[in-house]
Structure 1
């Protein structure tokens, strides 16, 4: 490779990596799962993670005595690949649902459905990806493909696993949205570009999300 094309490729890759490394979900990555993104603001989760969040300024959590977690889902529905098979997708969704219930039950009793005094949690996985192959519920910027090509050509084999989520919290009596959050996280690195991604690779990310929800509720109670 001649020097000038090589330098150009590396410069493009550096720019792309900087964009992809953003810890906050960008507007062009929103999936459409939430009905309104306009009020989201950058914030810190209880664990210090960067998120996009909105909470009704008039929210009084003392009005609620139970929480109902709707079955979690992928949005939009993804298509399995050889790198991210159905078994991985099903495992991720099942664990996400279990983790939310486990952590939120530390704050409030679990309800069997919506109703007065119940917070309804509606959450979705909106992105599942490895570095070089992904299910694209949202589209990454095209230049990200250059990053993958340059990294592979340079012999960089570690594959980064990433999850994105969007969630809204509703008043169980009237369906009013009382809070929303959008965030993403990085799981375990895969050892090479042929390794199949497993649910275990991102369980730590999901545990962090669920724990932050519980801690957020605790902070709101003290407000």
Structure 2
């Protein structure tokens, strides 16, 4: 009975916490990857997702004739775990690069290096985490590569996965920042606490981020 009561208490606490949790990345969770966070404001992405972002006022994106996607970084560099191994981290950054290149190539030719007329996309994965479903997820920045522990007696075994990104967009002419975005998303739910997270569990989130970035660019282009 005591175990059952504990499980109920944990669930209720979790519901209250998750109801109050912001969908925006909080300032204390910023990784330090971007140079200036003070300009960020709460906004919605083209798909309606909550983001923290900034776009340089009056920016004319028609000046960009090609786009260069820098290899995405894990920032700060994390230590892999059994739950989230190095192969998963490498797979996430590799797929993120592919997703960004696929989307931006629909609007601009891909450049092989920065230069005049080039829009530079500088992305980073700043959090990857897995936590027991029904408990408050761990989303500690720098990268949280930990799984929340809970007794199987509670009956809560599914695992939530989450991931966060920060990205800067630079003018290839002089390297000035023309836009920034910070956001997070939920990955595929894992079946249990022993299941290892793979890059496939984050692909839908990464695709969505890349699609929103392209749509934001296109919206600016047609203003």
> Into which bin does the TM-score normalised by the smaller protein fall?
0.7 to 0.9
Correspondence for 2:142: 138
Deviations 1:13-42 (A, max 9, x none): 33433355x321111111110011111111
Correspondence for 1:176: 176
Correspondence for 1:48: 48
Correspondence for 1:215: 215
Correspondence for 2:18: 17
Q: Name the CA distance, whole Å, in 1 between partners of 2:202 and 2:6.
A: 37
Correspondence for 2:199: 199
What TM-score, normalized to structure 2?
0.88
Distance 1:9 1:196, change over 3 A: closer
Q: Name the CA distance, whole Å, in 1 between partners of 2:62 and 2:156.
A: 51
* Helix, strand or coil at the partner of 1:106: coil
Correspondence for 1:66: 66
Structure 1: give runs of 5+ residues left out of the alignment.
Answer: none
Q: Name the CA distance, whole Å, in 2 between partners of 1:202 and 1:170.
A: 26
Structure 2: give runs of 5+ residues left out of the alignment.
Answer: none
Q: 1:3: how far off? A: 10
Correspondence for 1:104: 104
* Helix, strand or coil at the partner of 1:157: coil
The aligned length equals 216
Distance 1:5 1:171, change over 3 A: same
Contact 2:121-2:170 within 8 A present in 1 as well: yes
Q: 1:134: how far off? A: 6.6
Asked if 1:38 is matched to 2:38, the reply is yes
Contact 2:126-2:143 within 8 A present in 1 as well: no
Deviations 1:15-72 (A, max 9, x none): 433355x321111111110011111111111111111010001200011111111111
Which moves more between the two structures, 43-52 or 126-135?
Answer: 126-135
Q: 1:187: how far off? A: 1.1
Distance 1:152 1:123, change over 3 A: farther
Contact 2:3-2:154 within 8 A present in 1 as well: no
